[in-house]
Amino acid sequence: MTIPNLTLNNEVVLPAIGFGVYQAEPEETTAAVQAALETGYRLIDTAAAYGNEREVGEAVRRSGLDRDEVFLETKVWINDFGYDETLHAFDKATGKLGTERLDLLILHQPLPGEFDLTIQAYRALEKLHADGRVRAIGVSNFMPHHLDRLLAETQVVPAVNQIEVHPYFRQSELLAYDDERGIRNQAWSPIGGITFYPGFGEYGKSTLADPAIGEIAAAHGKTPAQVMLRWHVQQGRQIIPKSVTPSRIAENFDVFDFELTAGQLAAIDALDTGVRGGPAPEDINRENFAIDVPEA
pLDDT digits (tens, 9 = 90+) for 72-127: 999 999 999 999 999 999 999 999 999 999 999 999 999 999 999 999 999 999 99
> What does the pLDDT look like over 232-262, one tens digit per residue?
999 999 999 999 999 999 999 999 999 999 9
Query: What is the rounded CA–CA span in Å between residue 160 and residue 175?
Result: 11
Question: Can you give the pLDDT at residue 193?
Answer: 78
Chain mean position to CA 14: 12
Residues 6+ positions from 245 with CB-CB distance below 8 Å: none
Vertex 19: Cα angle to 13 and 22 (nearest 5): 125
Question: Can you give the pLDDT at residue 205?
Answer: 75
Q: What is the mean predicted confidence (pLDDT) over 42-56?
A: 98
Residues 6+ positions from 143 with CB-CB distance below 8 Å: 110, 174, 281
Note the pTM of the prediction, 2 decimals. Answer: 0.96
Give 207's Cβ-side CA count (13 Å radius). 30
pLDDT cut 70: percent of the chain above it: 96
Q: What is the mean predicted confidence (pLDDT) over 151-172?
A: 97
Query: What is the rounded CA–CA span in Å between residue 84 and residue 139?
Result: 18
Residue 293 CB coordination number (10 Å)? 20
- Active-site entry in 50, 122, 168, 177: 50
50 is catalytic: yes
Task: With beta carbons less than 8 A apart as the criterion, state whether 142 and 159 touch.
Answer: no
